[in-house]
Amino acid sequence: MYYIACMPSKKKSQPPASGASWTFLTNHSHVLLCLAADDSLRVRDLADKVGITERAVLKILSELEAGGVIEREREGRRNRYRVQHNAQLRHDLEAHRTVGDLIAAVHGDSRKRR
* Complete domains list, the chain, with CATH: 27-107 (1.10.10.10)
Average pLDDT over residues 79-90: 96
Inter-residue contact 48 to 56 (CB < 8 Å): no
Determine the Cα–Cα distance for residues 96 and 60; give it in Å rounded to an integer.
Answer: 23
pLDDT in tens, 1-60: 333 333 334 455 555 566 677 889 999 999 999 999 999 999 999 999 999 999 999 999
pLDDT greater than 60 at residue 77: yes
- Sign of torsion, CA 29 33 34 38? positive
pLDDT for residue 4: 32
pLDDT for residue 109: 67
